Structure formats: C-alpha cells, structure tokens
Amino acid sequence: MIFRYGGKGGNANRFPTKEDCEEAITDCAQEVEEDICKMLLDVGYGGSHFELFGYDKGARMCKKFLYGGEGGNRNAFETLQQCEEASMNCSTIEEEEDICQMPLEEGYGEVDFWLYGYDKNARICKQFLYGGVGGNRNAFQTLQQCVEASKDCPQIGMSCLGANSLFVCAYSSRRCSF
C-alpha cells in the first residue's frame, strides 16, 4: 500500500520501492498464513476508507471490508486472491466447538444481512441479522444449509419421553437420558 511519509517518527515499515517492501515481507508470509485463521477482521481507525480483504473466521471465507488507515492487524489484503491464498488452509482447521452449542452471533460491521443459525434454546434453525464481520460457524446463507449442518442437533419434536418418565435430551450426547 502506498502512503506518504512525512519524515518524522513512524516505524521501520516504510520502503523506498515496492520491490524492497515485497522482499521484506517474504519472511513473514508463513507466519501470516498460520495466524489469520484465528484473527478477527480489524477495520483499524483513522479517516481513510481503503477497501481491503480479510479472512472472516465466522463465515470461513474472505470478505471485503473498509480499513480506516491505521492500526488493524495482518488479516488485511489488497486483493481477494491474496486473501484466499493466505487462508486456503483455514477451512480445514478443525473447530473444537460443536455448532449445536454455539450461540447466534450477530457479529459487527456496517453491512447487515440475514443469515440462518441453529438456536440451541429453541432447537430450530432461525434467521438472524449478521453485521458482516466476526461471528462464528453457526451462520449459514440458506435455511437448507443450516438444517443440514444441524441435523445431529436436538430438534423441536425430538421426543425424550419414556415409560411415564420425562427424560432430558443432552446436547453433548444428543441422546435422551434420566
């Protein structure tokens, strides 16, 4: 990214040519690849509005966001292709948490759109408003995707009644027990 350096203060993250900059960043490319899978999209601060791309771990894909010009983190790329190359192994990282236990996370951001997620209290897939950044894996573009992903989660109508006894449907085992 080209910026104007005023000549006072600053840090070592400035180079006379694009080539010098690219040469300096080759050493940290592997580090970025490993870390961005867990990083949030950080819009930073400042009065600028640079269109960048970052890996959204909740949506498990690269998304466009507006960067303020200062702060932020390494989960910021000039092109979608750069982001996708750096995050190509992120979707294969196993998530320890089961979506049956995940909350519906609205995330944050300035672009609201409707997604579907499994509501563990209501035991159904519900539509919710997503802010465009953050969130978790319990977020699907269609109701069908949500239903498919939550097919092993307790559902409304799942009977946990036995011979004159009320059983409890345990989320962790997805089985009825006393």
The residues, ordered by sequence, that sit 6+ positions from 42 with a Cβ below 8 Å of its Cβ are: 54, 71, 72, 73, 75, 76
- Within a domain: 64: yes
120 and 85 together in one domain: no
Residues 45-59 have pLDDT tens digits of: 888 889 999 998 777
Distance CA 94, CA 123 (A): 24
- Within a domain: 152: yes
Domain that residue 29 falls in? 18-92
Residues 89-114 have pLDDT tens digits of: 886 554 546 888 899 999 887 778 89
Residues 123-139 have pLDDT tens digits of: 999 999 988 888 888 98
Distance CA 80, CA 86 (A): 10
- Within a domain: 8: no
Kindly report the number of other CB atoms within 10 A of residue 123's CB atom. Answer: 17
